[in-house]
Structure 1
Amino acid sequence: MAQKTFAFFPEAAFGPALNSVGIAQAVERMGHKAVFLSDPGFVEVYEGYGFEAHPVNLSEPMPPEQMAKFWEDFINSHIPNFRKAPIDQIDNYVKECWEAIVDSAKWAEEDLPAILAKIKPDVISVDNVVLFPAIKHFGVPWVRIISCSENEIEDDAIPPHLSGMSENDTEGHAAFRAKFNEVIKPIHDDFNEFLKSTGEEPYPLGQFFEPSPYLNLLLYPEPVTYDRAVPLDPARFQYLEGCVRQDKPYQVPTFKKNNDGPLLYISFGSLGAGDTDLLKRLIELVGKTRYRAIVNVGDYKDSYSDIPDNVIIDSWFPQPSVIPQVDAVIHHGGNNSFTECLYFGKPAIIMAYVWDGHDNAMRVQETGHGFRSDRYEWTDAELIEKIEACLTDEAMAARLKETSAHMQSANGQEKAARLLVKLAEEQ
């Protein structure tokens, strides 16, 4: 088969970006070419892995460092809203996110046609929550990657995306959908006007993207999937079982205290690291226990002092290399952290703050793979009780072992690459 070109267009966040990198690496191992369409701030990330990357403006052009600061400031300005229930974040954080997302689709439409004409991809993979019409119009198969929670593909029988609600809370589902549609309607009307200007049909209220008619790849692992009213067609929807990337090795350092104690990993992701008060509270708690902890504090390392001898902090860790070596994880519910804990069979306590972290927190608890915890309303005793359960619950350990074996046997990156190559071959 002649070499094909596969274009990847992930959302400008490390989770989607690095998942696509893993799939792209598998595509190249099969003898094909992978290129990236990229938010300008992420071009160096892809180039660092040896890929060709083409910048696509998703907002008013600005230097990459200024763009990174914009999103950091955006998240930090919403820290007070992290205390709110998901339904009460709709008219602040969620609304502002959708405004920015719709603007990104409009900006991308200016750059994408010329870039696609230059690259001439045979297949385009998009990991985002909004339609980019130029990709749909280019005339080659396009694939939707869903690296967030599985309920991004909606179904009437499961909790709405971003709601963090229980499977059985049908009244809550209806209330969340009603409020979401009410708040989002002006933004959605504007998006539909944009779609109309590109020759696209309008979407129903609340919808900003559609499943691909060709192929949809879900990062979610099957052991924690929802029971849908309408099962997803396996001809078009395939699960990648976490698709965990490989990262550089990590050696756990020697701790000055509790060096034989249970080891925790605590991380709220690059953006969630701005919630320094919460991380300081967790560090202080660990300092009074028999545990050890590795803590990701992002770009805020200078904000910390008097670190206990059983805690090590740093600005970044190769997370897929760290998690296999720890006993339990406390994280924000980002889908990489969620799936990596399952992939390596590690129990998690999820303190969600925004987006699909709420859904993943509920899912980890409802499927018996860990616990959800309020982000702020907990006592030391309550959190230690959850940690101890993560360390000693035999039923949870058995369930995690089974889920881990299932995910690791699947090799999601290779599976994704095979499916993409097969799609190219069929054209």
Structure 2
Amino acid sequence: MTRPPVIALFPEASFGAALNCVGIARELAARGAEPVFLCHPGFTGVFAEYGFREYHLQPEAGAVQARGEAYWQNFVNTHLAHFDLTPQAQLEAYVAPTWEAIVDTVIAVDDSLEALLAQIQPDAILLDNVIMFPAILRCGRPWARVVSCAETEIPDALVPPYLSGLGPDDVAGRALWEKAASAALRPAHHRYNAFRRARGLRPLPQGQFLECSDWLNLLLAPSAVRYRRAETLPADRFTFLEGCVRDEVPFDPPALPANEGPLVYMSFGSLGAIDTDQIRRMIAVFATIPARFFVNVGGFLDEYREVPDNVFLGSWFPQPSVVAQSALFIHHGGNNSFCEALFHGVPSLVMAYCWDGHDNARRVQDTGTGRSMHRSDWSPDGLRATIDALLKDRDLRDRLAAISAQMKADPGVVRAADAVLSRLGAR
């Protein structure tokens, strides 16, 4: 191309997707492209901090409330009790209401998105989301689907159903899940398909809210935890990444009064930080373990009055930099967190709340890359014993070191940029 290609990145309103896209955007910029971000309400300034131009979506007048970070924090807060349920029980209690809210978001901002795309005239769009916004298809520009959730998002007969937390061999569980999911999601799916038809698009099959791209699909599924598939995804349209870990500012761990022992990092994401009672309960256990615990508590730092000498609380951490220095990463099973742990050779203790956290909790257990525990149904002795075992498991550490070396030899951000720019160069 005779000018730098303009790449519009459109992540969903979550920091996992947002920061994944930042990693790809940085690599695209290093190659001479011009990445810009389409920005949901509540994420203003997130991408500008990394030096990227932002275009802000404006919900239509009278639309359902904009779905920014504050909305989702309130939404999660009302559903905290539901996170103790099994994945199947969460279908009615949490998953169906979440899809309804996501469909509301699409309807509220699609006109604004269409106007922004007409203004930007991007050479390509990277959509890191769980749902299609009709404006993307209507604008006629090449678009890539970025799957920064678990690989289960792309269905296959040998891959467990998305969000189910099932293993690949659980045939009976799969049948029960698919029947329950079909019933729970039918109203939201029917409403979404009606909106697609109104925008001149074909409806999607039962249970699907996002089609694969005919141009490019990027899946953040490292080979060490990838599933065997009944139908191989065509290599000319599907590019698997060895995760997609961004560089972040260096982290210099501050000295603690009890400044000895391995570093353990814990983060349940910006939304999981809402559960301050649960985090306090965990901190009480951390106080009894000879290690240093760095805990991301999001915007709730003032909720913690007494902090043990071996614990440091922060409202934000440069996560990849912290994980790189950690001996253990305790997290909620978000795909970025799981990939960052693997990239740096760190075992995961996954305590899933919802969504694809259940899938990654199962995968970490099945692949021997860490352990999973129920997020709240544990005893202090049980949590202490699990952390101690993970910190002392040298065989696990050796396996993860080999996985880390493989991922670092083939960085996902590089492969993603190669895939996007090579396709643009062929136009």
For the 8 Å contact 1:58–1:105, the answer to whether it is kept is: no
Alignment of 1:219-258 (within 5 A): 219-257=220-258
1:46 aligns with 2:47: yes
Question: Once the two structures are superposed, what CA deviation does each residue of 1:180-238 show, in whole Å capped at 9, x if it has no partner?
Answer: 11011111111111111112111111011111011100112111011111122221111
- State the match for 1:309 in structure 2: 309
Instruction: Provide the aligned C-alpha RMSD in A.
Output: 1.7
What CA distance in whole angstroms lies between the structure 2 residues aligned with 1:105 and 1:129? 11
What CA distance in whole angstroms lies between the structure 1 residues aligned with 2:162 and 2:20? 20
Shift of 1:326: 1.4
Shift of 1:112: 2.2
Shift of 1:65: 11
SS in 1 for 2:300: helix
Question: What letter is aligned with 1:232?
Answer: L
Alignment of 1:392-411 (within 5 A): 392-411=392-411
SS in 2 for 1:40: coil
For the 8 Å contact 1:267–1:296, the answer to whether it is kept is: yes
TM-score, structure 1 as length reference = 0.96
Alignment of 1:25-424 (within 5 A): 25-57=26-58, 67-257=68-258, 259-424=259-424
For the 8 Å contact 1:95–1:183, the answer to whether it is kept is: yes
The sequence identity of aligned pairs, in percent, is 44
SS in 2 for 1:45: coil
What CA distance in whole angstroms lies between the structure 2 residues aligned with 1:52 and 1:14? 17
Q: Which moved more, 1:66-75 or 1:330-339?
A: 66-75
| Number of corresponding residues | 425
Q: Which moved more, 1:36-45 or 1:244-253?
A: 36-45
Question: What letter is aligned with 2:118?
Answer: A
- State the match for 2:9 in structure 1: 8
For the 8 Å contact 1:127–1:145, the answer to whether it is kept is: yes
SS in 2 for 1:42: coil
SS in 2 for 1:232: coil
What CA distance in whole angstroms lies between the structure 2 residues aligned with 1:231 and 1:132? 27
Shift of 1:31: 1.2
What CA distance in whole angstroms lies between the structure 2 residues aligned with 1:210 and 1:66? 22
Question: Once the two structures are superposed, what CA deviation does each residue of 1:7-35 show, in whole Å capped at 9, x if it has no partner?
Answer: 11110111111111111111111112111
Question: Once the two structures are superposed, what CA deviation does each residue of 1:75-133 show, in whole Å capped at 9, x if it has no partner?
Answer: 11111001100110111211111001111222232112221111111111101111112
What CA distance in whole angstroms lies between the structure 1 residues aligned with 2:166 and 2:128? 24
What CA distance in whole angstroms lies between the structure 2 residues aligned with 1:59 and 1:25? 31
What CA distance in whole angstroms lies between the structure 1 residues aligned with 2:402 and 2:210? 34
For the 8 Å contact 1:348–1:370, the answer to whether it is kept is: yes
For the 8 Å contact 1:59–1:104, the answer to whether it is kept is: no
SS in 1 for 2:43: helix
Question: What letter is aligned with 2:349?
Answer: I
Q: Provide structure 1 residue ranges, at least 5 long, that are not aligned to the other structure.
A: none
What CA distance in whole angstroms lies between the structure 1 residues aligned with 2:113 and 2:261? 52
TM-score, structure 2 as length reference = 0.96
